[in-house]
Structure 1
Amino acid sequence: MIALDLFCCQGGATRGYQQAGYRVVGIDIEDQPRYIGDEFWQADALAWVDQHMDWIRAEVSFIHASPPCQRYSRAQKIQQREHPDLIPPTRDLLNATGVPWVIENVEEARPELRDPVLLCGASFGMTTYRHRLFETGGWTLTAPSHPPHTAPLTKMGRPRRPGDFAHYVGNFSGVDEARADMQMPWASRDGLRECIPPAYARYVAEQHLAGHGPAPAAIPAACGA
């Protein structure tokens, strides 16, 4: 089975799809030397999909897309910087493939997403909440149980106190702790603060496979030609 991870960064989502049994091709506009997928292409993700549409329709079982979230984040509102809205063009292109897909983004992007499902780190035994929204196309995602947020959230930049939940954003403290918590030992601080924890992607993948179960396929050597 082949999955695409669009806007893949260092591969948090990729690792989750690998754990679920996929071979993963990652695409990102920036070089990603820490990426841990099976194949990587440095390219504009949407242009790459458009260019390889026939191969995708024939060989790819699932597509994950995480368009950059800066447009929707709280930091963008504070800094008042302009960023493109990539969710609508991403949705349109993914629908054109005919392949089941998911678009992931931050909570602030909810107005742009259609009936999204929320995933939380507490649902997967982490000590970070890290809410993320997932919109699906061609299938239905069911949310897991969402534990109440009883643990205090450590203030940004400060070490996590016992009993608190961590806030892995900005120049956060505790890179090694974040790597262990989110099970991403290969990732840098930059990768950790932007990532989707592998557990989220594995949950998404296993939910999809439970209802569909596509047949295995091999990655052709010339898929990027």
Structure 2
Amino acid sequence: MSGHVLPLRRPNGLSVLDLCCGAGGLSMGYYLAGFEVTGVDIHPQPNYPFTFHQADALTFPLDGFDLVHASWPCQYFARVTRWRGTQAAHEDLITPGRARLEGSGLPWVMENVPEAPLRRDYLLCGTQFGLNVRRHRVFETSWGGGGDLVPPCWHRKDLLAFTHKAERAYADAMGCTWMTNREARQAVPPAYTHWIATQYLAIERRAAA
């Protein structure tokens, strides 16, 4: 099954598989960095802008990709889930997901909320990229982080806060303009993985030198 496939802007000859891709916020970041992008999600994603497969991310084949990204569902660890008392309705996919990525032999990236049990190789916020949103996300990588640092967070008083009344403005401020309001609730700004991808490419270039 395919989404609305976009042409590569700056092809680098590499491909990325985005597991639990949602509507493609983080996929777009890899696309902007020049990757050929394929997404996998257990739910239909009619607005996903790249090649898409509706499938289980824990069993989908990883062969043939240069990099694997995974945004395992965050509900089990999210603070709001515990506050609502609904944690039992969700499961921890990070533990089996990490084991699968580590056993693949491929470079990989995992993303999740700050409460999740990920190693904080990168902790990113929209304000670090000039976005008018506060949305912290943690990234754990197979290469352990490092590379060029982005500026620290700057939480100005005029930052957009996510509310259902303002979700369209929030989605657009993240750079997720192709998504519906509902899709954008779970999205992460493309700027995060655009930057992560540039770190990966720089490390690969140094290793090949």
- Please classify the TM superposition score into its range, dividing by the shorter chain length: 0.7 to 0.9
**Residue 18 (structure 1) aligns with:** 31
Q: Are 2:132 and 1:127 aligned? A: yes
Aligned partner (choices 71, 75, 93) of residue 70 of structure 1: 75
**Could you tell me whether the CA contact under 8 Å between 1:126 and 1:182 is conserved in 2?**
yes
SS of the equivalent of 2:82 reads helix
Say what the alpha-carbon RMSD is for the aligned residues.
Answer: 1.7
- Residues 1:85 and 2:92 aligned together: yes
Contact 2:18–2:68 (Cα < 8 Å) also in 1: yes
Q: Which runs of 5+ in 2 are unaligned?
A: 1-13
CA contact (8 A) 1:3 1:60 kept: yes
1:95 and 2:88 are equivalent in the alignment? no
Aligned mate of 1:44, from 56, 60, 72: 56
Mapped contact 1:118–1:132 kept (Cα < 8 A): yes
- The DSSP-based 3-state class of the residue aligned with 2:59 is helix
Structure 1 CA distance for aligned equivalents of residues 44 and 113 of structure 2: 23
Instruction: Find the aligned partners of 2:193 and 2:124 in 1 and give their Cα distance.
Output: 10
* Rg comparison, structure with higher value: 1
CA distance in 2, matches of 1:116, 1:210: 16
Is residue 114 of structure 2 the alignment partner of residue 107 of structure 1? yes
2:3 counterpart residue number: none
User: Secondary structure of the residue that 1:93 maps to in structure 2?
Assistant: helix
Q: What is aligned with 1:223?
A: none
Query: Identity rate of aligned residues, in percent?
Result: 39
Using a 3 Å threshold, how does the CA distance of structure 1 residues 44 and 79 change in structure 2: closer, same or farther?
Answer: same
Deviations 1:121-141 (A, max 9, x none): 000011111000001113534
Q: Please state how far the C-alpha of 1:73 moved relative to its aligned partner.
A: 1.4
Are the structure 2 counterparts of residues 115 and 127 from structure 1 closer, same or farther at C-alpha, using a change threshold of 3 Å?
A: closer
User: Which residue of structure 1 lines up, in the alignment, with residue 162 of structure 2?
Assistant: 168
Tell me how far apart the structure 2 counterparts of residues 115 and 180 of structure 1 sit (CA, whole Å): 27
Matched residue of 2:132: which SS? coil
Structure having the higher helix fraction is 1
Deviations along 1:52-93, one digit per CA (max 9) or x if unpaired, are 24xx2xx21111110111111122112211211111111110
Equivalent position of 1:192 in the other structure: 184
Structure 1 residue matching 2:69: 3-state secondary structure:
strand
1:11/1:35 contact within 8 Å kept: yes
Q: Secondary structure of 1:3's match?
A: strand
SS in structure 2 at match of 1:103: strand
In structure 1, the gaps of 5 or more residues are: 153-163, 214-225
Q: Could you report, residue by residue, the CA deviation over 1:113-157 in whole angstroms, capped at 9, with x for unpaired residues?
A: 1244200100001111100000111353444221332x23xxxxx
Q: Secondary structure at the match of 1:108?
A: coil
8 Å Cα contact 2:113-2:138 kept in structure 1: yes
Q: 1:174 to 1:42 in 2, by over 3 A?
A: closer
Please name the residue that 2:152 is paired with.
146
Contact 1:73 1:108 survives alignment (8 Å)? yes
Shift in Å, 1:172: 4.2
Runs of 4+ in 1 over 2 A off after TM superposition: 138-143, 177-180
In 1: Cα distance, 2:152 partner to 2:74 partner:
23
User: TM-score, normalized by length of structure 1?
Assistant: 0.79
